[in-house]
A and B are shown apart, each in its own frame.
Chain A
Amino acid sequence: MSEIVIRVEHLSKRFRIGLKAPHHRLSEAITDLGRACANLPGRIFGRRVLSPDESNGAEAGEFWALKDISFEVQRGDVVGIIGRNGAGKSTLLKILARITEPTSGRFGLQGRVGSLLEIGTGFHPELTGRENIFLSGTILGMMRREVVRHFDEIVAFAEIDEFLDTPVKRYSSGMRVRLGFAVAAYLNPEILIVDEVLAVGDAAFQKKCLGKMGTFAESGRTVLFVSHDVNAIQSLCTSAILLDHGRIAGNGPTMDVVAQYRDAIESFQQVPLQSRTDRSGSGRLRFVSLDIVGPSKADPSIRTGRPCSFVLNFELSDNEPAEDVHFAVTIADARGYPLITCASFHKGADFPPFQKSGQVCCLIPTLPLAPGRYSVHLAATMRRQRADLVENVAGFTVHEEDFYGTGRLPKPEKRGGAMVVDHSWVSKTGGG
């Protein structure tokens, strides 16, 4: 018998842009001081005060992260939530987990809700593994006696028994992830809300976690699961919801929604970069175009093992010279899984200050990609703060080139790896 355990009705959430920032920069604070003083009583009391530039148009200072979302989930369903960056996935989870309130609409939940928006929520680095199990467990919603009851299982699942009394700051990142997930695995809520947390940890542990979530659903519990990993969604979820610009663009069996999402990714890349709105960051710098070019003008095709350049054009939102700017180009495979990140910060590149606009080029002398289809994400930071981030900016095809001098290459579509590297083979058996 089907029974509804989550019912979402006309849920909307509005954010006001710029309200998150006022306390970060002293110089800005001083400029705004006069205005701030006038508005102070209203601000302190959380009332809406329109600043002059906001009041020009109601939409200037706000945007709808979610707009009129309605859906139902039945007991035992595992629902995947997919969508681009900024589509509203995390906002939806945060509302359902009651971390933040909707602006309008409402939602109904049945039973205890556990939210897992981060691995190792509440861990304190100075405390030992044992102390952190209790701390994180109670933060996630367990009573201390429940933690006591599951303590041995948690330790076994995390495989950390020798380090139980070692401060977590001395743990490897893998151990920390295992411990974090192990605590969450024994939460035992009727509804589990999970955000993109399986992206961390090694493959074997990820598999263990997915297995745990699978058995969790089989025992009649309900899971809401956000992930960029379409494969994880496909293998785990019975149905999926596709969000786009805060609205539901698709809702139904996983296969159909995932297919719709893949088509949508292709179509994002048709939209010119300049008019893309699904970006995040402060916006002080905006990418306007990207050119992907091969070895030379005469030889423009992109081929395995040959030089390849990414030419990034960008604009600045104000007339201040932009200093301490860094860029990153991430190349992802056809499924959206990141393969290579070339970051100017990692390379220690030092750019002169930019005025109004600029162009930078990232050159990869030997492109280590097997023939196939890839896509590019771009990111920029200013003074270590994210200025712009756009996913799936463009798709490109890597063509065959005789990289190994044998005319042979791995075939990603036949389970071959997507990357090629120079290497050698020798026999270590017998002979001498």
Chain B
Amino acid sequence: MGSSSGDQQIDLSAGTFATAPEDGLIYYEARGGLGFADFRELWAYRDLFFSLALRDLQVQYRQTFIGVAWAVIRPLTLMIVFTALFRMLGRIPASNEQTYAVTLYAVLLPWQLFATTLTKSTSSLVANEAILTKVYFPRLILPLVPIAVGLVDFAIAFVVLLGLMFWYGVMPTVTILLVPFFVALAVLVSFAFGTWLSAANALYRDIQHAVPFVVQVGMFVSPVIYEMAEVPEKWRTLYSLNPMVGVLEGFRWSLLGQQEPPLTAIALSIMISAVVLAGGLVYFRRIERFVADRV
């Protein structure tokens, strides 16, 4: 982490006053080159993470009339609108309408988890400028906090999903046990891009204007309102390079357990987000060094 404890990296010949290795001080200096995230330090700051997540949750629903119901209203409204629209266009047979609606609501949940988490992560460094410039803490906490908030919203909407499934008689299969895995994958994808975008946004605010728009467009190039099976066969591999394809198809499969699991898409999603995350952590580390001067 760039700091070296007294007995490691001291060059006795360099300083004008030689530093005794046993002086017990922890030294800090400019960190050069490439670094990775310091997960041990991150863990030491877990209470700060908790406090910031609690703050964002409390603030989100304070002075609202219906409070947490907002977590449900957004996917529910989209579900109604798209179902009505597609029925009008004659794309879904009336007999299958209920299953379509429930499936759509279900897939909207991981999509919204991804979309809101990514949007908030992107602006997290800028939004927390006031504390960023006043006190030290591992800055990586900031793009992580929206994940906690997103997961709480997800959990609330998921309870409603179970209710909807029960009501419409859409029975889950045993693969529902894999839902947490796909939720984790949605978080991974959004955090992978969040590290890049939050750091870049600290330098150029253009990013935070572009992301909500790109995410909105992204919903239509991801299998949310349609399924991957409707994409022409020859395009499917290319299509699966979008890491959210694996998440959404996998989520749909684990919940409703029809057809075959979309293994290629899931594998691609894991690999792509792992690579993006690794690069993102290095990039974030680099920007973190001077973010307080530039944000």
- Residue positions of A touching B, CB distance < 8 A: 4-7, 9-10, 15, 19-20, 22-23, 43-46, 70, 94, 97-110, 115, 117-118, 121-122, 124, 126-127, 131, 134-135, 138-144
Contacts and interface: CB of A to CB of B under 8 A. Distances in A.
Size bracket of the B interface: 35 or more
B289 interface: yes
Contact of A139 (B19, B28, B131, B294): B131
Q: Is the interface of B mostly helix, strand, loop or mixed?
A: mixed
Interface stretch (B56-64, B81-89, B241-249, B266-274): B56-64
Contact of B294 (A20, A107, A144): A20
Interface of B: 6, 15-17, 19, 23-31, 47-48, 50-52, 54-55, 58-59, 62-63, 130-137, 200, 203-206, 283, 286-287, 289-290, 292-294
B29 A102 contact: yes
A23 B205 contact: yes
A144 B48 CA distance: 8
Contacts of A98: 28, 136
A140 B31 CA distance: 23
The 3 closest A-B CB pairs, nearest first, are: A108-B25, A106-B29, A98-B136
Nearest to A102: B30
Contacts of A70: 16
Given A115-B136, A117-B135, A43 B55 contact: no
B70 to A, nearest CB: 16
Nearest to A113: B136
B30 A99 contact: no
B59 A127 contact: yes
Contacts of B205: 23
A194 B55 CA distance: 26
A411 to B, nearest CB: 42
Contacts of A121: 130-131, 134-135
Contacts of B30: 101-104
Contacts of A10: 15-16
Contact of A109 (B15, B25, B63, B131): B25
Which residue among B54, B63, B135 has the maximum number of chain A CB atoms within 10 Å of its CB? B135
Contacts of A94: 133, 292
B286 A139 contact: no
B20 to A, nearest CB: 10
Contact of A99 (B15, B52, B58, B135): B135
Contacts of B204: 22-23, 43-44
Contacts of A142: 47
Contacts of B63: 126
Nearest to B288: A101
Contact of A144 (B16, B51, B136, B203): B51
